[in-house]
Amino acid sequence: MAGSLRSLISEDQLQARIRELGLQIRADHPNETLTLIAVLKGSFMFLADLARAIPGDVRIEFLGVASYHGGTRSSGAVQITQDLRGSIEGHACVVVEDIIDTGLTMDYLMRMLEVRGPRSLKIATLLDKPSNREIEVRVDYVGYAIPDEFVVGYGLDLGELYRNLPYVAVYSP
């Protein structure tokens, strides 16, 4: 795909921050079995590293969501492409997301998950673009806050490409 990539967050920076987040999440939930709810596809790489950074018992669930349809602007319409397999009733849950931009996707997901009766429901996002928020979202764990630029890599895509980059890059058309 034409366009240029400029590294924004290196592989080492990502890994160091994720180790901190893993310990912080465990410290906030001592002795609890944590259910990590990965929002697919973008969070798959963050999930894999975050899960390994959390000591103790962890369960993994996947939630498939499509909100972009290939472009670089959020459509606001959230489509569930794959629901959770198991019940989260009574579970201590952390939703694992790649990036929060307008907040529309996460707001939708939180309302959808809250009615299922989790014991607790927190949000961990690798990246946050707070300047672009259209709806307030209570984010518990943020890897890095970034400016309002379109980023790819480490799970994040443009038209399904660049997810395999081990770092986060700004994409310029």
Radius of gyration of the chain (CA): 15
Token pair for 74: 């959020």
98, 101, 128, 157: which is the annotated catalytic residue? 101
Of the pair 87, 164, the CB lying nearest Mg ion is at: 164
Q: What span, in angstroms and rounded, lies between the C-alpha atoms of 56 and 59?
A: 10
Q: How far is the CB of 29 from ligand IMP (least distance, A)?
A: 23
Mask of contacts with ligand IMP, 136-165, x by CB under 6 A?
Answer: --------------xxx---x---------
Q: Contact between 101 and ligand IMP (CB under 6 A)?
A: yes
Q: What span, in angstroms and rounded, lies between the C-alpha atoms of 90 and 71?
A: 37
Q: Contact between 101 and Mg ion (CB under 5 A)?
A: no
Give the interface segment with ligand IMP, choosing from 11-19, 54-62, 102-110, 115-123 (CB under 6 A): 102-110
Q: Contact between 98 and ligand IMP (CB under 6 A)?
A: yes
Q: Look at residues 27, 45, 14 and name the one whose alpha carbon lies nearest to residue 154.
A: 45
Token pair for 167: 């770092």
Among the listed residues 98, 101, 128, 157, the single contact to Mg ion using CB under 5 A: 98
Q: Contact between 128 and ligand IMP (CB under 6 A)?
A: no
Token pair for 14: 């990502």
Q: Contact between 35 and ligand IMP (CB under 6 A)?
A: no
Peptide bond into 129 cis (omega under 30): no
Of the pair 54, 126, the CB lying nearest Mg ion is at: 126
Q: Which residues contact 16 (CB under 8 A, 6 or more apart)?
A: none
Q: Could you tell me the strand order of the sheet in which 120-128 lies?
A: 79-82, 58-66, 34-40, 92-100, 120-128, 141-145
Q: Is 101 a catalytic residue?
A: yes
The contact set with Mg ion (CB under 5 A) reads: 42, 98
- The binding site for ligand IMP (CB under 6 A) comprises 42, 67-68, 74, 97-106, 150-152, 156
Q: Active-site positions?
A: 101
